[in-house]
Amino acid sequence: MTHILAIDQGTTSTRAILFGADMAPVASAQEEFKQHFPQSGWVEHEASDLWSTTASTCRGAIEKAGISAKDIMAIGITNQRETTVIWDRKTGKAIHRAIVWQDRRTSELCQTLKAAGHEEMVTERTGLLLDPYFSATKLKWLLDNVKGARTRAESGELAFGTIDSWVIWNLTGGTSHVTDATNAARTMLYDIRKGRWSKTMCDLLDIPMNLLPEVKDSAADFGVTRADLFGREIPILGVAGDQQAATVGQACFEPGMLKSTYGTGCFALLNTGDTPVTSKNRLLTTIAYQLDGKPTYALEGSIFVAGAVVQWLRDGLKIIRDAKETQPLADNADKGQDVVLVPAFTGLGAPYWNAECRGAVYGLTRSTGPEEMAKAALESVGFQTRDLLEAMHADWPNAEEAALRVDGGMSASDWAMQFLSDILGAPVDRPEVLETTALGAAWLAGQRAGVYPAMDEFAATWALERKFEPTLDEALRTQRYARWGRAVQATLSV
């Protein structure tokens, strides 16, 4: 048994990647699934799609690798965070579509709770802000709006989970209702300092605590798969939310180390060690990973739209057919135009946290075309990242000494990463292994299984593929970032 199977259940697709004994990827399979938008600002997934694509991509990766289940030592899972599912404990059927982390339907509830003066308490216990992004208000919405759900929940018939819990439940045939500390920390129901579910938060939102899964370390025994799925039982030994798994995969184990992942959204995490730092700039305090019962904390900045802006160019505007087309378009953009896109399609995340504003484009002219829109889309990710890092530097001055390690699909774009370095005025390090999210999940499971090295040795394997250095004139950098700031303020004021 020389392989670790990593399941990466994301927002737009599910991937399974097999890693060998040397922690190198051996084979992978990926499937996209349908996004559902029942109303403006609402985003849903069929929970059954998340599970079926998990099962099929796992089988696909195993087949591509030419191995069998007996060659797999363990499974590690990483997942889109905050997305909320409730299911029937007996049938295993979800009672409603999963409500996705991007969904904003509980904005009014969050505003009501803020007006009642609850946000300070929420932040003190959970490290989070009162925002529809997190699972708790989504869970309350399901209990209040699905017929009979609250009564059934109170009687113990139903189970709640983020997507890791949903996938594990199905992998184990309903024998494990569990999560890890990193996913629990994103629900707005978990006390990150005491390391347990918060009765105060559950009472505030009228959520029965018997719905909640057992919380474990990020490397722990989460159960074993049904024997009929892959040919034998395989232990599940590692779990972390996608951004925390990327933090692990980037070997950001020392306080002050910083990574930014570019997937559907963009998420920057700054390791703050054993100290939960309360942000003064509306960043989140969260758990980066938890090993041997000891949490390591992080400051996090969350951008809702990063790679999703490229999907919008493809599926919404239909000006590209493939993400790879954005770079040559951006290269050919008219340098005399300065189009600014604020991609607030589902509101703005950190450091603004405005659920109500919507996307806007500034600086349009008669000659603005696909090239300028592609350039503005890619630049919007760099601008938003700088917003996050400015806030992090204010909360944790030591962060200024750390290089930014990047990963995720968009980090493969040389154009986007060069602009990121230019607008930050700082180096950006891209590793040889861009699959850091899956690698983090694999390492958690592999070191628990005893086949992968301990933390220090694993960190020593991190290798640089390319360092991007800033080339933009300082005056122009300042001017362009100021223009972005004015565009954001105009968007917020509409």
Taking the C-alpha atoms of residue 241 and residue 10, their distance in angstroms, rounded to an integer, is 10
Contact between 107 and 355 (Cβ < 8 Å): yes
In 242-316, beta strands by DSSP E: 258-262, 266-273, 284-291, 294-303
Task: Please list, residue by residue across 7-38, b when 16 or more beta carbons sit within 10 angstroms of its beta carbon and e when fewer do.
Answer: bbbbbbebbbbbbbeebebbbbbeeebebeee
Taking the C-alpha atoms of residue 391 and residue 385, their distance in angstroms, rounded to an integer, is 10
pLDDT band at 484 (very low <50, low <70, confident <90, very high): very high
Helix boundaries (H) for 127-263: 135-145, 149-154, 163-171, 181-184, 199-205, 227-230, 242-249
Taking the C-alpha atoms of residue 84 and residue 305, their distance in angstroms, rounded to an integer, is 19
The pLDDT assigned to 82 comes to 94
Of residues 215, 142, 213, 220, the one with CA closest to residue 182 = 215
Q: Does 163 have pLDDT greater than 60?
A: yes
How many CB atoms sit inside 10 A of residue 100's CB?
Answer: 22
Residue where the block lists tokens 């849903």: 44
pLDDT band at 399 (very low <50, low <70, confident <90, very high): low
The number of angstroms, rounded, from the C-alpha of 71 to the middle of its chain's C-alpha atoms is 30
Of residues 80, 63, 436, 2, the one with CA closest to residue 242 = 80
The pLDDT assigned to 479 comes to 94
The number of angstroms, rounded, from the C-alpha of 264 to the middle of its chain's C-alpha atoms is 8
The pLDDT assigned to 265 comes to 82
Q: Does 451 have pLDDT greater than 80?
A: yes
349-364 per-position pLDDT tens digit: 888 888 788 999 999 9
For residues 156-160, give the mean pLDDT: 96
Rg (CA), the chain: 22
The pLDDT assigned to 166 comes to 98
Q: Prior bond to 470 cis, omega within 30?
A: no
The pLDDT assigned to 312 comes to 87
Q: Does 402 have pLDDT greater than 70?
A: no
Higher pLDDT residue, 120 or 308? 120
29-69 per-position pLDDT tens digit: 999 999 999 998 899 999 999 999 999 999 999 999 989 88
What does the mean pLDDT of the chain come to?
A: 92
90-135 per-position pLDDT tens digit: 999 999 999 998 898 999 999 999 999 999 999 999 999 998 989 9
Residue where the block lists tokens 């920057």: 268
The interaxial angle of helices 107-115 and 135-145, nearest 10 deg, is: 110
265-279 per-position pLDDT tens digit: 888 999 999 989 988
- Bridge partner residues of 430 (DSSP): 466
The pLDDT assigned to 432 comes to 87
The pLDDT assigned to 267 comes to 87
Contact between 50 and 163 (Cβ < 8 Å): yes
The pLDDT assigned to 319 comes to 82
pTM given for the model: 0.86
Question: Which of the residue ranges 79-83, 162-166, 353-357 would you say has the lowest mean pLDDT?
Answer: 353-357
**Collapsed DSSP state (helix, strand, coil) of residue 174:** coil
Residue where the block lists tokens 């992942």: 261
Enclosing H/E stretch for 308: helix 307-311
Taking the C-alpha atoms of residue 285 and residue 275, their distance in angstroms, rounded to an integer, is 10
**Residue type for 10, please?**
G
Residues in the chain: 494
pLDDT band at 333 (very low <50, low <70, confident <90, very high): confident
pLDDT band at 303 (very low <50, low <70, confident <90, very high): confident
For residues 194-199, give the mean pLDDT: 96
The pLDDT assigned to 395 comes to 86
Q: What are phi and psi of 142, to 5 degrees?
A: -60, -45
C-alpha distances out from residue 53 to 10, 59, 88, 234, 297, Å: 11, 10, 20, 18, 32
The pLDDT assigned to 409 comes to 80
Percent pLDDT > 70 in the chain is 99
Contact between 410 and 262 (Cβ < 8 Å): yes
pLDDT band at 466 (very low <50, low <70, confident <90, very high): very high
Task: Please list, residue by residue across 153-183, b when 16 or more beta carbons sit within 10 angstroms of its beta carbon and e when fewer do.
Answer: beeebbbbbbbbbbbbbbbbebebbbbbbbb
Q: Does 400 have pLDDT greater than 70?
A: no
